[in-house]
Amino acid sequence: MDYRAGVSDGASTAVDTLVDRAGVCRDFTHLVIGLCRAANIPARAVSAYAWRLEPPDLHAIAEVYLGGRWRLIDATGLAPIDGLVRVATGRDAADIAFMTIFGRACLIEQSFSIQAIEP
């Protein structure tokens, strides 16, 4: 599998990603979720701010239920799990979309602020 932008769009399925052997984090996440569910392993989608990704950005990852607990999986291998801040959890990418736009839009600015909280 290759991480490659422009191979997919919002209508691409996990099967498309498997056939194309390429996609972005959302596509990798859908593929992991589909394969896990086919093996009867509970799985869900997570959107996160990946502050340890270079450069830091929003990122889609999977979460699977194994060994009695939920475990995060980044199938792209790009974002360290300990460098993620969860934004949303849902069944698939439609539930965890970073934004939903109808019509044309232009991103002017994006910023995030995160702070560690001591336990």
For 17-119, strand residue ranges (E) read 22-23, 43-50, 57-66, 69-73, 84-90
pLDDT given for residue 86 in this prediction: 94
pLDDT given for residue 93 in this prediction: 86
d(CA 98, CA 48) in angstroms, rounded, equals 9
Pairing outcome for strands 69-73 and 22-23: unpaired
Give the chain's residues under pLDDT 70: none
pLDDT given for residue 24 in this prediction: 95
> What are the pLDDT digits (tens) for 91-119?
988 899 887 888 898 889 888 888 888 88
Contacts of 42 (CB under 8 A, 6+ apart): 36, 64, 65
pLDDT given for residue 2 in this prediction: 94
